[in-house]
Amino acid sequence: MTTELEHLAVRLREFARARDWEQFHTPKNLVMALAGEVGELVAEFQWLTADESRDPDPDALARMRTELGDVTLYLVRLADVLGVDLVAAAKAKLDDNDRRYDADLYRGSARKAPPSPGEPGVPGEDGDS
């Protein structure tokens, strides 16, 4: 079964191809554009209080929705260009987080778990010592 993300990836691929933009859609360019769009999304939240961020006014929410759309498009396009199944990658990461962040040990805590074996930053696991 084809997911909505796969349909979106195909549509983005066709959009780029129709404009001869594939030449510009390198992973480097796409991730830089993605970072820019994330920055625009961050700017919408920059001076809000925690409560305001949970319940933005309708105009702010409309701008946030637009920026979230931009972020999603670049993320889906980047994953497509790299040949990464975005849903599978997200599920694998969620499974890893479930293993790393035991609910009983981390409940109510924002502290970071130690890196998983093989993850960068673990001495001896990734070639570093």
CATH of the domain at 69: 1.10.287.1080
Q: Which amino acid is at 111?
A: R
Kindly state whether residue 99 falls inside one of the protein's structural domains.
no
Kindly state whether residue 70 falls inside one of the protein's structural domains.
yes
Kindly state whether residue 38 falls inside one of the protein's structural domains.
yes
Phi and psi torsions of 9, nearest 5°:
-60, -45
Kindly state whether residue 103 falls inside one of the protein's structural domains.
no
Report pLDDT for 119. Answer: 72
- CB of 37 closer than 8 Å to CB of 67: yes
Kindly state whether residue 36 falls inside one of the protein's structural domains.
yes
Spatial distance between the Cα atoms of 103 and 101, rounded to a whole number of angstroms: 6
Can you give the residue range of the structural domain that contains 60? Answer: 4-84
Lowest mean pLDDT among 48-52, 89-93, 117-121: 117-121
pTM, two decimals, is 0.84
Task: Tell me the pLDDT tens digit for each residue of 43-59.
Answer: 999 999 999 999 999 99
Instruction: Tell the burial category of 76 from Cβ atoms under 10 Å away from its Cβ (0-12, 13-18, 19+).
Output: buried
Mean pLDDT of 35-41: 99
Averaged confidence pLDDT in the chain: 92
Quote the strand ranges of 15-60, DSSP E: none
Give the number of domains in the chain. 1
Kindly state whether residue 115 falls inside one of the protein's structural domains.
no
Report pLDDT for 129. Answer: 42
- CB of 119 closer than 8 Å to CB of 126: yes
Kindly state whether residue 9 falls inside one of the protein's structural domains.
yes
Task: Tell me the pLDDT tens digit for each residue of 92-102.
Answer: 999 999 999 99
Kindly state whether residue 57 falls inside one of the protein's structural domains.
yes
Query: What is the chain's percent helix, strand, coil content, to nearest 5?
Result: 65, 0, 35
> How crowded is the C-beta side of 104, counted as CA atoms within 13 Å?
0
